[in-house]
Amino acid sequence: MSGQIHPRLKIIGWVSSGVISGVLLSMGVSALAQREAKLSLPVDELRQFAEVYGAIKSNYVESVEDKKLITEAISGMLSGLDPHSAYLDAEAFKELQVGTQGEFGGLGIEVGVEDGFVKVVAPIEDTPADRAGVKAGDLIIKINDKATKGMNLSDAVKLMRGKPKTSIELTISRKGVNQPIVISIVRDVIKVQSVKSNWVAPGYAYVRIAQFQEHTVENLVTHLNKQLASAHSNPKQPVKGIILDLRNDPGGLLHSAVGVSAAFLKGDQVVVTTDGRQPDAKRSFRTRPEDFQRGGRDPLAGLSEAARSLPMVVLVNAGSASASEIVAGALQDHGRAKVIGTQTFGKGSVKTILPLTSNTAIKLTTARYYTPKGRSIQAKGIRPDYWVEETAEGDLTDRFRLREADLNRHLGNGQGKEEGSGNAGQRSQGQGAVERKPLVFGSPEDHQLKQAIALLQGQPVATNPAPPETP
């Protein structure tokens, strides 16, 4: 369950101590009133909060532990903000930390919340969920025998996690399919191979990033150097272009996105800027090593310079989110690459992990991402230079897949521009989508990849009619 993680970790003890004091010390509101001018605490609201807390403790049909009430209150505050802010208990916090290293247990899906249901943002490539046929945009309406309507996202994630080789049954709603689909999946240890590469046509290097992890930049350098070195040893078949595939990449770590962008950009260039309320939320991340390296060594130090000069295409779709959109937007704005595919997801907000204790934290939206030319990614995404869908005939499943702008309580764009599918709440209706054999990215049947090769070869690109751009 990855999301964008701001590199700085801060402790916001005032949140936990301030709220808990307001809840527990119902007789001490006057003390809070004395501090109101300094902390601007909403005393009347905290008094009401404390009264509700007291009413539950005294009158609820069963005894409720203090810890549960406080935890649920914190979780409720966060879930009411936007679809991505959340309380991370000890298990969720550990999973988030482990997940960025590229190995964790579960099904292998990036999830969010839509209309009170768990929504699949994207299945992670070559995982149990992906192999079982789970698709981006699916709504998970039941996990085993438990309905997910109104279920806390962290609780849903816990239900889907489990020991490897154990089974789980997901009931999903898919647009264009009138009946719920029941999928049985066997859990496994998820080992995400962040970077893959191969030759898709003579002279054209293909690199796919499935997720932005801690070591993605180093892995990218290894793959690029291997391809460029093999071409150098064969002068009769020089490298003519690079295709970077970010389709269905749900994102990951910010510094990895900056490092990947720096692998293809020359000089000191802006990759992404952030803007939020706090001074340290207003930042510019550039291609300089200090903005993406971890430790003392620059992971791009040994990269072949050809990576920054060869013609290039980036492939995206509605499952490309967050870090993927940062990279695509940066390479597009600097004119380094042409972008082919469909509108990206539009998850352009900074998620900061704020520890509460040694093993719990909150994930809080603290800023928006902007491309080098100042375009807000949030609730809009990256629009490709060439609109090409999954097949020559089009692909309604992708075009009308729900995006960030369709999610309830989504953070606004900040520029008056949002672009969703326009189909929020209209699931399992009509016959628009056609069930097809799952596409294998990088395969000979990959239509979007074929168009990327055609563009690099100077041939016409077979585009599909694009929906009008949001003004």
Out of 197, 320, 322, 421, the active site residue is 322
Among candidate residues 119, 135, 142, 347, the one labeled active-site is 347
Nearest C-alpha neighbor of 449 from the set 434, 439, 436: 439
Q: How far apart are CA 112 and CA 325, in angstroms?
A: 17
| Cα 75–chain centre separation | 20
Residues 75, 79: Cα–Cα separation, whole Å: 6
214: enclosing H helix or E strand = none
Active site residue 347: yes
| 333 tagged catalytic | yes
Say if CB 372 and CB 93 are below 8 A apart.
no
Strands (E), 356-457: 361-370, 386-387
Which residues, 6+ apart, have CB-to-CB distance to 414 below 8 Å? 275, 368, 376, 378
Tokens of 466: 């694009």
Burial (CB < 10 A; 0-12, 13-18, 19+), residue 431, is exposed
Amino acid at 326: I
Question: Could you count the other beta carbons within 10 Å of the beta carbon of residue 20?
Answer: 14
Integer Cα distance of 243 and 390 in angstroms = 16
Which of 89, 333, 395, 398 does the annotation list as catalytic?
333
322 is annotated as an active-site residue: yes
Query: At which residue do the structure tokens 């505050």 appear?
Result: 77
Q: How many CB atoms lie within 10 A of CB 48?
A: 12
DSSP 212: B
Active site residues: 322, 333, 347
